[in-house]
Each structure stands twice: as C-alpha cells, then as structure tokens.
Amino acid sequence: MCNPFLPPLPVSLDDRTTLNAEQITNLLEVCLRTTYFVFNKEYYEQQNGAAMGSPVSLIVANLFMEHFEETALDTRFRLWKRYVDDIFCIIKSEFLDESLIFLNSLFPSIQLTSEVETNGSLPFLDVLVSRFDDGTMKTSVHRKSTHTDRYISYQSNHAPHVKKGIVKCLVRRTYNLSSESSLKNEIDHVRSVSSINGYPRSIVDKVKHELKKKKKQVDTTTLNKDPVATAIIPYVSTVSERIRKILWDYGIRTSFKTKTTLSNLLTKIKDPTSNENKVGAVYKIMCECGDFYIGESGRALGIRIKEHKSACEQGYFTKSPLAEHVWQEGSHVIHWNQVKLLDFSQGMVERKVKETIYNMSPNNLTMNRDSGMELSPLVLRAARGHSHK
C-alpha cells in the first residue's frame, strides 16, 4: 500500500547526494579493496572477492553475477533462474557437461557445480520441483536429509508471539511453496512437527484460519497507528508482555531480546576485542578509599584512561574528577589496573543514560561532579536498587 504522505523518491544522483560519480566510484573502490581482517591476532588480506561483512559486498556480487549471466547465457538454456548463488536451469542432458566447462572457463574465481534431477525431482532452495511424463510439474517443501524438525519448544522461555510465529512461518511456507496436489501432505507434516515440539493440536488450524482471514481483509487499525519509537527490552515471561501493551498505548513498539543464546555461548566468530580497544565504553575506576568514578567515552577505553592518568599526574582538575579527588585527598591510590568495563554502546545518548544509572550510588561514594542525565520517573524507579559490584 502506498503512503501518500511519504516524500517522492529521488530521481537522480544530484537528489540523493552532493558527491559526484567519480567520488562515489573512488569511495566504492576503497571499500572493495579494504579486505584486511584479524585471525588469532594475525593480520591477513583477502585476495579474491569482496570484503567479508561489508554492506556493499552483496550488491557488488549481484551486479557481477548479472554481468556473468549476460556473458555466459545462450539459447541452450531453456530456463535460467538464479537466487544469489543458487541457480535452477533447464537444459538438454547432452549439453550439460560442455556448458559447465564453458561457464567455469569465464572467470577462474567463479566455479559452478551441477546437480541433476533424481527420479524426476530436483531441489532448489526450499522447493522440491517434480516433473511428470505428461509435461506437468508440481512443487512441495524440500527438507534436507539432515533436517531434524526441531524448533523452539512450546515450553521454552520465549514470548508467545515468537512461538506462534514459528507455526505461522511453517504454514505460510507450505501454502507458498506447495502445489494443490501436495498441500494436504505438507499441512499434515506441519501438524506432526508442531506436536513433536509440544505445541497444542489446535494451533495449526488457528493459524490457517488467521492467514486466510488476513487475505480477505486488511487490519486498518495497525496501518493507521505507526510507532513513534522502538524499545528493545529483555524478555521476562508475563512481565515483558505487560510492558509491551503499556508502551504500545503510547505508540512505542517493543522488541524482546535475550543475551543467553546458544550462539552467544558456543560461537566466537571474531577474535575478542580487548577492553582497552573497545569503543563506546561505560566504565568504573576505583580508588583505594572505596570511592569510584563512573565515566563513558565514544573513543577507545585505553585512550580515555591515559587521559585520566595524565590529568591526575599534572593536577588538571578540569579534565578529570579523578585528578581533583587525588590532589585534594592527598596520597590516595587509583587502581588503574582494575578498571571495570560496565557496559558499552555506540550511541552517545544510550551511553549517557547508562552512565547515569550506574552512577546512582546509595552511599554517595561517587567522584562524579553531577548525577548525569535527567531521567524520567519510570526509568528512575526501575533503576533503584542498582548496586556497584
């Protein structure tokens, strides 16, 4: 649905940016050639391909594959459909081997492999395409042999809408990918999978009914109520749902998150960044007397600590409250080697809020000169009882 209140889309480069085409090309080249990364504390350079993790890499890869297709395709391919790096094509069997050799000769870094149909069936992404002798075809949901049909258990500590969303996804995928002749078997499979994972027997039928109802009518109340902001909060059963309803009354959309996941516990994709090199830190510095300082910085933590040290050594009170504390109290010793990283965030406002909350010392032991940002009563009540450990 088009929104008549949205501004018209820009139609030329001048409408989008003040940079000219040559400047954009030069910047793009820098992004594509910056392919350095760290592994096991050693620096490497990626020789081929676009930079890993760069937002522009996917766009450039797709542009290259379009160029590849324009160069490679001919009339031998009766059908050619590509999604990223998966291709579904129809070609006579006698042309398959020579066509594959030709495609792989165009660019040494692009090497294709082939998979042919078995018993008239061939999987492509999540779809199993089957053909019959009379020329007709049917589709059904494809599952790999390693697929376990295991999803989030209905008894797990996840928001109800998340668990219901899994069933919705399975049912919607069944309707989108299955031909009429295979639809019943696929729905029965979804019912079986839901039961295995502890879901109520009626949930599949409820989801089917909701999806059919949504096709017939549009929920105008949702369309007319655009959220003014988004709040991301930890999920706590029953409590988070209540907060979500309250915030929605004020036009605030809520998303739930959890830090304790198998992915966070078991996988470490990148070498960990040392505390000194972390950017956007909220930190705590202790004195031997028990007083402490809570600070935040948008730069590397190690750089900010060095500035505090220098201020303490030279007595620059204006540059650090720690310096004022050390010089006024006499021979107090700051524990520089025990700086504690409390939290971090790339956003300055979020760091300021966190600094204010961590600075709420019940015993007035903080060296900070002020109490930080002015927070709403709701946030202050939630932050009461916060203790520094």
| Listed residue (208, 217, 210) closest to 174, CA to CA | 208
Same domain for 123 and 103: no
Q: What pLDDT score does 4 carry?
A: 43
Rounded mean pLDDT, 103-126? 90
Rounded mean pLDDT, 366-374? 81
d(CA 359, CA 365): 9
Q: Residue 96 is encoded by which pair of tokens?
A: 């398959």
| Listed residue (227, 355, 224, 233) closest to 284, CA to CA | 355
Same domain for 94 and 161: no
Domain assignment of residue 368, given as a range = 273-383
Q: Is residue 309 a part of any domain in this protein?
A: yes
The residue type at 333:
V
386 confidence band (pLDDT: 50, 70, 90): very low
CA dihedral 45, 47, 49, 53 (to 10 degrees): -10
Rounded mean pLDDT, 110-133? 90
End-to-end, the C-alpha distance of the chain in Å comes to 52
- pTM, 2 dp: 0.60
Same domain for 123 and 110: no
Same domain for 316 and 301: yes
Same domain for 109 and 3: yes
d(CA 52, CA 62): 15
pLDDT above 50 for 223: no
Cα 296 to chain center, whole Å? 25
Q: Is residue 195 a part of any domain in this protein?
A: yes
How many domains does the chain fold into?
4
d(CA 193, CA 183): 15
Span 305-333, pLDDT tens digits: 999 999 998 888 888 999 989 888 877 88
Q: Residue 342 is encoded by which pair of tokens?
A: 């409390």
Same domain for 122 and 111: no
Mean pLDDT over each residue of the chain, to the nearest integer:
84
Cβ-in-10-Å burial (0-12, 13-18, 19+) of 171 comes to: buried
Q: What pLDDT score does 190 carry?
A: 92
- Cα–Cα distance list, 14 to 17, 19, 60 (Å): 6, 8, 22
CB neighbourhood size of 115 (10 A): 8
| Listed residue (82, 80, 103) closest to 90, CA to CA | 80
Q: What pLDDT score does 5 carry?
A: 42
Q: Is residue 79 a part of any domain in this protein?
A: yes
For residue 22, the surrounding DSSP H or E stretch is helix 21-33
Same domain for 251 and 338: no
